[in-house]
Amino acid sequence: MVVLLSALGSAGGCAQEGTRRTDLTPEERPAGPAQSLQRLDAAVAEVNRTRAELLRAPAAVVAAATALDAADSASATGARSAARTARATARTAVPPAEATLAATAQQAARYRAALQVLQQAGTALPAPAQDALGPVVAAGEGEAAALESFGTSAGRAWPAYAALDKAQALWLERAGAGWYRSDDEAADAYAVLVRPQRAALSAARTALREADAARRPATERQRQALAAADEALGSLRAPR
């Protein structure tokens, strides 16, 4: 959703009739059209920024889980070269996932705060534009709650993946040190190493899949609300 700074002039608020004070402080003076639009532009930019930041959580977690699952499959065959390649991807994907899980609650709070600023910035706009921003705020609140819930569910599931990460690293270290004489022996050793984790890992996979599916409708609703608001605010944009 983008609002051009030169737009509000076409919507500009009409002066109210009647007696006016002439000694208003800068804080008391009502914002002019250009200033109102600048505030709206800044609010829109912050909503976009904080939303993108929050949406990185499911993307990063799913990417890391997928990479670890791929490394699990490769390691289970005992093929050390394929496992080493898959582990390289996992090593890159895991740290961002763990970092974003730790920050999800704070990111959701920043997104909610940005939505409230957007709502306040819209009060200087014509009624149709205000009406368009209302669904964005409401859908955004729902999206923040859904993504925060995803973070909670993923955070509970992640220890199983963290344990798998450590087991894979240990197995590959041993494989590189010559512990296993063949791929079959390496596969057997990997199976023994991760067997105690299999039940928890299976539950974690299910939990992550369900958490990601549960948050998607809220994100789609917000996408639609943002698209509708962008269209509704088109009347505020400067003609080309």
Q: What is the pLDDT of residues 191-223, one digit of tens each?
A: 999 999 999 999 999 999 999 999 999 999 999
Q: Are 136 and 225 in contact (CB under 8 A)?
A: yes
- Which residue range(s) make up the domain with 219? 33-234
Instruction: Give the residue with greater pLDDT, 58 vs 31.
Output: 58
Say if 7 falls within a structural domain.
no
Q: 75 CB contacts (<8 Å, ≥6 apart)?
A: 83, 86, 87, 168, 171, 172, 190
Average pLDDT over residues 17-25: 43
18 φψ region: left (φ > 0), alpha (ψ -120 to 50), beta (else): left
Say if 13 falls within a structural domain.
no
Task: Give 232's pLDDT tier (boundaries 50, 70, 90).
Answer: confident
Q: What is the CA radius of gyration of the chain?
A: 26
Q: How far apart are CA 152 and CA 149, in angstroms?
A: 5
Mean pLDDT for the chain overall: 86
Whole-model pTM: value is: 0.80
Which residue is associated with the tokens 């990997």?
190
Say if 104 falls within a structural domain.
yes
Q: Are 198 and 89 in contact (CB under 8 A)?
A: no
Q: How far apart are CA 23 and CA 34, in angstroms?
A: 22
Q: Report the pLDDT value the prediction gives residue 36, as an integer from 0 to 100.
A: 74
Q: Are 50 and 106 in contact (CB under 8 A)?
A: no
Question: Which tens digit of pLDDT belongs to each residue from 126-181?
Answer: 787 788 899 999 999 999 999 999 999 999 999 999 999 999 999 999 999 999 99
Strand, coil or helix: 28: coil
Question: Which tens digit of pLDDT belongs to each residue from 68-93?
Answer: 999 999 999 999 999 999 999 999 99
- Total number of domains constituting the chain: 1
Q: Report the pLDDT value the prediction gives residue 19, as an integer from 0 to 100.
A: 42
Q: Which two tokens stand for residue 167?
A: 């087991």
Q: Which two tokens stand for residue 106?
A: 């704070």
Q: Residue length, the chain?
A: 240
Say if 23 falls within a structural domain.
no
Q: Report the pLDDT value the prediction gives residue 33, as an integer from 0 to 100.
A: 59
Say if 19 falls within a structural domain.
no
Residue 111, CB-side half-sphere exposure with 13 Å CA sphere: 29
Say if 21 falls within a structural domain.
no
Q: How far apart are CA 132 and CA 125, in angstroms?
A: 10
Say if 1 falls within a structural domain.
no
CB atoms within 10 A of CB 99: 12
Q: Report the pLDDT value the prediction gives residue 41, as an integer from 0 to 100.
A: 87
Say if 6 falls within a structural domain.
no
